[in-house]
Amino acid sequence: MNDQQLDSFLKENKPRVESDPTFTLEARRRMAEVEGIKAEVDRTRRSGRVALIVALVSGIILGAVASAVAFLWPIDPAALEHRLLDTVRTVLEPYKNYILFFLALMITALCLVLTSGRKQVLQ
């Protein structure tokens, strides 16, 4: 509700303010407080959505990396029945160390994101 709407509302309803001439100022102050609370709720919702998206993307990436690491772990070659899986393992084999480094980097980033969100909640 803006000032014009508030003024028109007060003029139409003609409130009695004989005992308190600062009624309009007090009403505007309270409306400003309400607008501030609404802005804070909107900001909290936006930050929650961003945190949800970051968590989703991080989870997908970490799940893919964890699956790749689990697949590259030494296994019995006789257990591989599909030629495609054997080809993928052969292609990714030289990059095992880089995948582990990337996994560690993603875990660190996820921890930083989660702890930064807690600092905002605690304040």
pLDDT tens, position by position, 80-108: 566 767 787 788 888 888 888 888 888 88
Q: Is the pTM of this model over 0.75?
A: no
* Mean pLDDT, residues 104-121: 74
C-alpha of 15 from chain center: 45
From the number of C-beta atoms within 10 Å of its C-beta (0-12, 13-18, 19+), residue 118 rates as exposed
The first and second tokens of residue 23, run together, are: 């009624």
Helices (H), 20-95: 23-72, 83-92
- Length of the chain equals 123
